[in-house]
Amino acid sequence: MKFEDIILTGDRPTGPLHLGHYVGSLLNRVTLQDQYKQYIMIADLQALTDNADNPQKVRDNVMEVLLDYLSVGIDPKKTTIFVQSMIPEIAELTVLYLNLVTVNRLQRNPTVKAEMQSKSYGETVPAGFLMYPVSQAADITIVKGTIIPVGEDQLPMIEQTNEIVRSFNRIYGKEVFPEAKALVSKVGRLAGLDGKAKMSKSLGNAIYLSDDADTLKKKVMSMYTDPGHLRVEDPGQIEGNMVFEYLDVFDTNKEKVAELKHQYRQGGLGDVKLKMYLFQVLNDLLTPIRLKRAELAKNKDAVMQILLEGTQQVRLVAQKTMDEVRKAMHLNYE
């Protein structure tokens, strides 16, 4: 059977999106929406797996993430944006898939293992957390996703999904689902303001797409540079200097960046001046995004409507998938 190429991607609504998301996934989605049918899922239920006691935070961030999507140029005419919790078929498929996976297999999943350690759950890991590769398999297959943009660390999740797909198709004797291919991002991870390997909300080292100019300036001014570069006239280091890392990523004027690097190495370029330049580059990038966001935020009902319409479209697709699943599993009572 030949399946259409379909992209499924998404985010957990646990905070507004930042520059790491922008270069790591959002820009990519803006390009991909012209080449493929693309679904973006706001994974509110997955966000609840470790925020069960703070549902209002998750709820508020659904709107923030949605505003971020639309302001960077994700176009609801090309990309279908939907919210996970409003697709009951995902839960149905998750429950069915749980019979096709052993507990041991889930406990050996490298992504789950790594995340369990980083959250130091120890003996108290919630069942929903252990099960989340199964829930992701349902997210992907309910829309018959074939291309899944992921980071390297998420490859075991795609493998788990394909194991379930193969089991299902084999046991029920029908090729209901396609296998999915990982589309691994070529862009490395954007480091945080503090020089830590990853820009992230929880590390408090992120520049948000929704930051205003003042906040952006303060954050850029606080960036980690060369701790040995004390006076303007001193020579400075480029390696590990976050300002240059960001310029390499975000400044399209590569000649100018090369010139600044030369000057910095020689001595005579102060951190403040350099940071003001980066601020300008980032502010030029973020200003139109910020303006569009402000405009959209004036009418949140209309923005929510975009999400509800996308969700309605996905429900139709999901119901069609579940009809096939029920038929294959002899669960179609009539």
Contact 43, 10 (CB under 8 A): yes
State how far the alpha carbon of 1 is from the alpha carbons of 76, 179, 319, in Å.
Answer: 29, 11, 20
Residue 182 and residue 158 in contact, taking contact as beta carbons nearer than 8 Å:
yes
Residues 124-153 that bind its own copies (CB under 8 A): 124-131, 134-135
Exactly one of 2, 77, 118, 123 binds its own copies (CB under 8 A); that residue is 123
The CA distance from 85 to 79, in Å, is 19
* Smaller CB separation from its own copies, 71 or 84: 84
Task: Write down the least CB distance from residue 3 to its own copies, Å.
Answer: 23
Using CB under 8 A, which of 1, 2, 77, 99 touches its own copies?
99
Backbone angles phi, psi at 18, to 5 degrees: -125, -175
Nearer to its own copies, 35 or 107 (CB): 107
Q: Which of residues 208-247 bind its own copies (CB under 8 A)?
A: none
Write out the two tokens for 241: 């200097």
Residues 43-82 that bind its own copies (CB under 8 A): 44-45, 48-49, 52-53, 55-56, 58-59, 62
Nearest distance, CB of residue 36 and its own copies, angstroms: 26
- Our finding on whether 316 is near its own copies (CB under 8 A) is no
* Beta strand pairing call for 79-83 and 147-150: unpaired
Q: Among 64, 68, 89, 245, indicate the residue that binds its own copies (CB under 8 A).
A: 89
Q: Using a CB cutoff of 8 Å and minimum separation of 24, what contacts does 116-122 make? A: 119/50
Residue 334 engages its own copies in binding (rule: CB under 8 A): yes
If the CB atoms of residues 56 and 252 are measured against its own copies, the closer one turns out to be 56
Among 36, 73, 91, 324, binds its own copies (CB under 8 A): 91
CA distance readout (Å), 292 to 14, 250, 274, 308: 22, 20, 28, 20
Question: Per rule CB under 8 A, is residue 174 in the interface with its own copies?
Answer: no
Q: 193 with 223: CB under 8 angstroms?
A: yes
Closest separation between CB of residue 329 and its own copies, Å?
A: 5
Phi-psi region of 122 (alpha: psi -120 to 50; beta: other; left: phi over 0): left
Segment interacting with its own copies (CB under 8 A) among 33-41, 100-108, 265-273, 274-282: 100-108
* CA-wise closest residue to 9 among 20, 19, 30, 128: 30
Collapsed DSSP state (helix, strand, coil) of residue 228:
coil
Using CB under 8 A as the binding rule, whether residue 189 contacts its own copies is answered as no
Task: Give contact residues for its own copies (rule: CB under 8 A).
Answer: 44-45, 48-49, 52-53, 55-56, 58-59, 62, 83, 85-86, 88-89, 91-92, 94-96, 98-104, 106, 123-131, 134-135, 171-172, 304, 307-308, 311, 326, 329-331, 333-334
